[in-house]
Homo-oligomer: A and B are copies of this chain.
Amino acid sequence: MTTMEQMRQAKAASPALKSAATEQKNAALCAMAQALCARAADILTANAQDMDAAKGHISPVMLDRLALTEARIAAMADGVRQVAALPDPVGQVLSREVRPNGLVIEKTAVPLGVIAIIYESRPNVTSDAAALCIKSGNACILRCGKEAWRSAHAITEAMQEGLAQAGLPPLLVQLVEDTTRHSATELMQGVGYIDLLIPRGGAGLIRACTENAKVPCIQTGTGICHIYIDRAADEAMALSIVENAKASRPSVCNAAEVCLVHRDIAESFLPKLRHALTDARIAAGKVPVSFRADERAYPLLGGVPAGPDDFDTEFLDYILAVKVVDSPDEAIAHIAAHSTGHSEAIVTADEATAAKFVRSVDSAAVYVNASTRFTDGGEFGLGCEMGISTQKLHARGPMGLRELTSYQYIVRGNGQIR
């Protein structure tokens, strides 16, 4: 099918899901999980073909993301079952008002309709995204990178089998068949068919969507996250938070990339930071962090003098840019100029400074005395996550099921006219 035909099919299938009962959607999700396990051999065969074709063409990190195993497929099925166990956001009455004229106005959560997701080489996104869309009442059109297509296709077949078993249209979940760039453009410009486009991937993909999308789009993911160590910081706490935010999982978007240090604490703190993130980690058998230090940090910290781009780079690696600032205001101004609006933290015992930081920093999540690594649907108690929105419209921060819904005003009267 062409991408346009697939969009038409998705739109045609979506009303069946808008009015489906929670029990039917959950039955479909359980059947989808079961089909994933039952079809594990087929999925692994398809994945082996993807891996063979990709070897030598993509990096080892990308290859690892692409690889599936029995255990990974079982984890995907578990993920789908967990979504079934979450509360249904659809039909929830968000507010109810009885007007003086007797009209009863209920603001009620409803599905968006059709959600398109453009992603890269992780095959598990296929089942994760499909499960979240089905639970929130949305048809979905999935477009993965071509290196993952065979795997994603086999996973999609399992999803469709589960839908059919529960009496729902299989085409509620579709994988885009055209793996050329053209299909991504068609999704971005599918006005009238796509109610929401979610790009999940690197900065290039996000930029392409911003440039080309004519359908509503939510930017996700890019995170240049900052930690500001105030002069009133508990230094031991600051060391633990910086190490966790930088080095517990450097490849994710909520990892910190930049540490700003107040000048009054720099002389004491920076040598300890160097020790904790280099020597102490080497002694513990962990990967050490290397530094990009501005001219005031460099004499105290070592590392490499920071270049002009180092404070605008999402390293996604064991690299931390460090800058000494004169005041909380300078930290706030630096963040305003360089942040991607994802997550920032302050470490301080001074409540007034913390309050000012929180009031002034305009990012999806602002932390006081905690690691930026908590910006995550699971950690926030949403039970799941479709991505982290770094824009301000509709959804900000971790997107759970509720963020995949819209609302309608249902107004009941007995003949009222205006």
Stretch in A143-151, A160-168, A210-218 with 4+ CB within 8 Å of B: A210-218
8 A Cβ contacts from A71-115 to B: 97, 99, 103, 105, 110, 112-113
Inter-chain contact B368/A418, CB cutoff 8 Å: no
A409 interface neighbour in B191, B216, B336, B365, Cβ under 8 Å = B365
**A223 CB to closest chain B CB, in angstroms?**
14
Q: Is A397 an interface residue (CB 8 A)?
A: yes
Chain B residues within 8 Å of A105, by CB: 380-381
Asked if A363 lies at the interface with its beta carbon under 8 angstroms from chain B, I say: yes
**Are the C-beta atoms of B418 and A367 separated by less than 8 Å?**
no
What's the dominant secondary structure at chain A's contact region? mixed
Number of chain copies forming the complex: 2
Q: Which of A346-372 contact B (CB under 8 A)?
A: 354, 358-360, 362-371
A8 shortest CB reach to chain B, Å = 13
* A248 interfacial by beta-carbon distance below 8 Å: yes
Q: Is the CB of B418 within 8 A of A248?
A: yes
List the one stretch of A61-69, A259-267, A281-289, A388-396 in contact with chain B: A388-396
Chain B residues with CB under 8 Å of A379's CB are 99, 418
A349 and chain B: residue at smallest CB distance: B414
Whether B216 lies near A191 (C-beta < 8 A) is: no
Q: Are B18 and A360 in contact (CB under 8 A)?
A: yes
Taking the closest CB of chain B, its distance from the CB of A11, in whole angstroms, is 10
Minimal Cβ-Cβ distance residue in B for A359: B19
- Does A275 touch B at the CB level, under 8 Å? no
Is A201's beta carbon under 8 Å from chain B?
no
Please name all residues of chain B whose beta carbon is closer than 8 Å to the beta carbon of A216 when the two chains form the complex.
216, 391-393
Q: Please tell me if the beta carbons of A417 and B362 are within 8 angstroms of each other in the complex.
A: no
Docked-complex contact B241 and A370, CB < 8 angstroms: no
Question: Chain A 112-125, CB within 8 Å of chain B: the 1/0 string?
Answer: 11000000000000
B241 contacts A415, CB within 8 Å?
yes
Indicate whether A302 reaches chain B with its CB closer than 8 angstroms: no
Task: Tell me, in angstroms, the Cα distance from A355 to B416 when the chains sit together.
Answer: 18
Q: Are B365 and A408 in contact (CB under 8 A)?
A: yes
Measured between alpha carbons, how far is A411 from B372 in the docked complex, in Å? 10
Contacts known (A413-B370, A418-B371); A396 close to B391, Cβ less than 8 A: no
Is there an interface contact between A394 and B396, defined as CB atoms closer than 8 Å? no
Task: Pick the most buried of A191, A210, A392: most chain B CB atoms within 10 A of its CB.
Answer: A392
Query: B113–A418 contact, CB under 8 A?
Result: no
Query: A373 within 8 Å of B by Cβ?
Result: yes
Assembly CA distance A406 to B366 (angstroms): 14
Task: Determine whether the beta carbon of B99 is less than 8 Å from that of A417.
Answer: no
Q: How far apart sit A86 and B401, CA to CA, in the bound complex (Å)?
A: 31
Interface residue A410 (Cβ < 8 Å from any Cβ of B): yes
Using CB atoms and an 8 Å cutoff, list the residues of chain A in contact with chain B.
Answer: 15, 18-19, 97, 99, 103, 105, 110, 112-113, 191, 195-196, 210-211, 214, 216, 218, 234, 237, 240-241, 243-245, 248, 336, 354, 358-360, 362-371, 373-375, 379-381, 391-394, 396-397, 406-418
Can you identify 28 A-B contacts, CB atoms within 8 angstroms?
A18-B362, A97-B381, A103-B370, A113-B362, A210-B214, A211-B214, A216-B216, A216-B391, A244-B417, A244-B418, A248-B417, A248-B418, A364-B409, A365-B409, A365-B410, A367-B412, A368-B410, A369-B414, A370-B411, A370-B412, A370-B414, A371-B416, A373-B418, A374-B418, A379-B418, A380-B409, A393-B394, A396-B409
Query: 9 shortest A-B CB distances, which residue pairs?
Result: A370-B413, A244-B417, A392-B406, A394-B394, A216-B393, A373-B418, A237-B415, A365-B409, A370-B416
